[in-house]
């Protein structure tokens, strides 16, 4: 949905390249934190070497960082709802889409909502 509706029902989807990058990164992070023994480190080149170092030396920090990252996404999603109120987006479906998209993709979604400038008619 590309800029569906206007004003009260405004919603614009994040770019697919950002969505893919974020999903891939979070997926890899999840894999590293919860199933580090199943990662083929040798086949991943430099990324594998770096990941192996992090798993061997900082796995506990990565575990807590993982949950902090999700908490940040929750905070961004809640802020998206606040911005929806401020910008006059009152349509329930649009608000739900902003919340879910921002929860899943974070700043890639939130930046679109922050940049949105609703049209305000001047009062006479």
For the chain, the average pLDDT equals 92
For the chain, give the percent of residues with pLDDT over 90: 86
* pLDDT band for position 6 (cuts 50, 70, 90): low
Instruction: Note the pLDDT of residue 1.
Output: 41
Structural domain spans, the chain: 7-115
Q: How confident is the model at residue 122 (pLDDT cuts 50, 70, 90)?
A: low
> Whole-model pTM?
0.83
Residues 116 and 5 sit within 8 Å (Cβ to Cβ): no
Instruction: With beta carbons less than 8 A apart as the criterion, state whether 84 and 94 touch.
Output: yes
pLDDT tens for 40-71 read 999 999 999 999 999 999 999 999 999 999 99
Asked if residue 95 has pLDDT above 80, the reply is: yes
């Amino acid at each position: 949905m590309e800029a569906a509706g206007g004003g009260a029902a405004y919603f614009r989807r994040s770019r697919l390249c950002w969505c893919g990058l974020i999903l891939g990164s979070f997926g890899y992070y999840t894999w590293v934190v919860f199933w580090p023994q199943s990662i083929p480190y040798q086949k991943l080149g430099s990324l594998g070497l770096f990941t192996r170092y992090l798993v061997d030396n900082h796995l506990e920090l990565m575990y807590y960082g993982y949950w902090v990252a999700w908490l940040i996404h929750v905070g961004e999603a809640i802020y998206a709802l606040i911005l929806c109120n401020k910008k006059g987006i009152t349509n329930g479906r649009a608000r739900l889409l902003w919340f879910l998209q921002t929860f899943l993709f974070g700043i890639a979604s939130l930046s679109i909502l922050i940049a949105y400038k609703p049209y305000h008619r001047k009062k006479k």
